[in-house]
């Protein structure tokens, strides 16, 4: 026993990508870890492990070359002496890869949780080169997870509240007919409109951290096929639409609802409303309630952000119950910003700096009449002609006071005539 303890102390912690042999340890950490899972609860962690065991081979193959599903599962484990101490799962938040998300951190009980968790997070910060900003979502009551993330530089970005509308309240909302004359289905052609709505509904800091582009609101062929297979296997259906404003030619409201055909899980909805059109909240919720009538009666789950207080006030007014309260935290990776080398300005002469602003030829003084310019051009031609014809040293042209041109040779010939 003493020999094993000494060996474990001498062995360092190794951070590496997840392998198939780590799945048993990851499942054990899922049940024992202090870290908060997805807002739906611990059952999602068990379902994800079952899905990971089934599709691990395909996911590993897809991670070897660039494709939209390359980072469907991207995780790293901390290992010491063949003992799994922790795991972190990350994924890109936007298409450009400038912002990444920490999906979960699972740590072994009894170990140095803050130390192991910090090593996993810092390994991700340093190894994923394209990520300039990191975000995560954590339960507001999870003190251990908050301590870990704040120790590694994460700060609060926004607050998210998850609501549940019970089936009876959902049926009552479906009684009123929504006033949505310009409700349109969503396609890839509407990506620019949805991008403008998304940026308008967020404050500048959140918009900068999320860094979404038009491509984030498009669905590729491979992603569409994967979502269709997932919906067929899970017996779910996704319906989405947006409200178009013809005068401004902009989208002012958007919704997406995931419906459960089996009646075992609550329906999940996403709602985005332009801050200038908050009257759309009752109309869109009535539309969601009407869509849910065609499926087994279940509650409706949806989230609201603190920077959209009108939505939270309306949900609280109609009697929706709060399910969970979370924080969105962010962290910038400043050492990945390329720094420009400081160049000293000493020793640089002004003509060298302004070389491009110097004239190509000597400028003509202002205020000169065209007659004077013609006279000077004529004298230049006469000088050039005399210099070409006369080869003697005495035949040198000079200007007189009245602007005429004379030569020394001509003056001497006139003097001889007078003699």
Domains, the chain, with CATH or none: 8-153 (3.40.630.30), 161-336 (3.40.630.30)
pLDDT, residue 58, reads 78
Tokens 């006469």 identify what position? Answer: 382
Task: Using the Cα atoms of residue 368, residue 372, residue 373 and residue 379 in order, give the sign of their dihedral.
Answer: negative
pLDDT surpasses 50 at 343: no
pLDDT, residue 408, reads 44
Q: What's the order of all strands across the beta sheet hosting 14-17?
A: 14-17, 74-80, 83-92, 99-107, 133-139, 321-332, 155-165, 300-305, 267-273, 250-260, 236-245, 183-185
pLDDT, residue 123, reads 95
pLDDT surpasses 70 at 8: no
Q: How many C-beta atoms lie closer than 10 Å to residue 36's C-beta?
A: 22
Q: Grade residue 55 by pLDDT with cuts at 50, 70 and 90.
A: confident
pLDDT, residue 245, reads 93
pLDDT, residue 364, reads 58
Q: How much is the pTM?
A: 0.73
Least confident window among 38-52, 108-122, 283-297: 38-52
Residue 181, token pair as written in the block: 């004359």
| Nearest alpha-carbon partner for 145 in 16, 39, 33 | 33
3-state secondary structure 243-292: EEECCCCEEEEEEEEEEECCCCCCEEEEEEECCCCCCHHHHHHHHHHHHH
| Residue 115 · residue 149 · CB < 8 Å | no
345-390: pLDDT as tens digits? 444 444 444 555 555 556 555 554 444 445 455 555 555 555 555 5
205-254: pLDDT as tens digits? 999 999 999 999 998 887 888 888 888 888 999 999 999 999 999 999 99
Tokens 């899905």 identify what position? Answer: 51
Task: Using the Cα atoms of residue 371, residue 373, residue 377 and residue 379 in order, give the sign of their dihedral.
Answer: positive
């Amino acid at each position: 026993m003493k020999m094993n303890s000494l060996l474990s102390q001498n062995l360092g912690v190794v951070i590496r990508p997840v392998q198939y042999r780590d799945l048993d340890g990851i499942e054990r950490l899922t049940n024992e870890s202090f870290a908060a899972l997805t807002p739906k609860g611990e059952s999602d962690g068990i379902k994800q492990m079952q899905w990971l065991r089934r599709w691990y081979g395909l996911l590993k193959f897809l991670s070897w070359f660039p494709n939209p599903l390359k980072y469907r599962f991207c995780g790293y484990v901390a290992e010491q002496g063949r003992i799994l101490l922790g795991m972190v799962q990350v994924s890109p938040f936007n298409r450009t890869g400038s912002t990444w998300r920490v999906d979960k951190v699972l740590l072994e009980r009894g170990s140095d949780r803050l130390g192991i968790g910090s090593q996993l997070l810092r390994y991700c910060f340093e190894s994923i080169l394209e990520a300039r900003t990191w975000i995560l979502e954590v339960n507001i009551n999870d003190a251990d997870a908050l301590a870990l993330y704040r120790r590694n530089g994460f700060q609060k970005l926004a607050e998210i509240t998850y609501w549940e509308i019970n089936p009876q309240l959902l049926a009552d909302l479906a009684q009123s007919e929504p006033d949505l004359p310009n409700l349109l289905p969503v396609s890839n052609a509407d990506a620019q409109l949805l991008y403008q709505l998304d940026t308008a509904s967020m404050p500048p800091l959140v918009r900068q951290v999320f860094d979404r582009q038009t491509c984030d609101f498009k669905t590729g062929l491979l992603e569409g096929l994967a979502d269709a297979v997932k919906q067929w296997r899970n017996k779910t259906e996704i319906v989405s639409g947006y409200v178009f404003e013809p005068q401004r030619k902009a989208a002012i409201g958007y919704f997406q609802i995931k419906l459960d055909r089996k009646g075992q899980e609550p329906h999940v909805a996403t709602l985005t409303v332009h801050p200038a059109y908050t009257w759309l909240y009752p109309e869109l919720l009535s539309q969601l309630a009407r869509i849910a009538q065609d499926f087994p009666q279940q509650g409706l789950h949806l989230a609201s952000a603190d920077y959209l207080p009108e939505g939270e006030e309306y949900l609280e007014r109609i009697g929706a119950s709060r399910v969970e309260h979370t924080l969105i935290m962010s962290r910038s990776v400043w050492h990945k910003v390329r720094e420009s080398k400081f160049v000293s300005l000493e020793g640089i002469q002004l003509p060298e700096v302004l070389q491009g602003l110097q004239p190509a030829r000597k400028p003509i003084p202002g205020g000169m009449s065209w007659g004077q310019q013609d006279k000077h051009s004529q004298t230049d031609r006469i000088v050039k002609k005399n210099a070409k014809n006369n080869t003697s040293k005495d035949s040198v042209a000079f200007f007189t006071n009245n602007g005429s041109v004379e030569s020394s040779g001509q003056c001497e010939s006139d003097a001889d005539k007078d003699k």
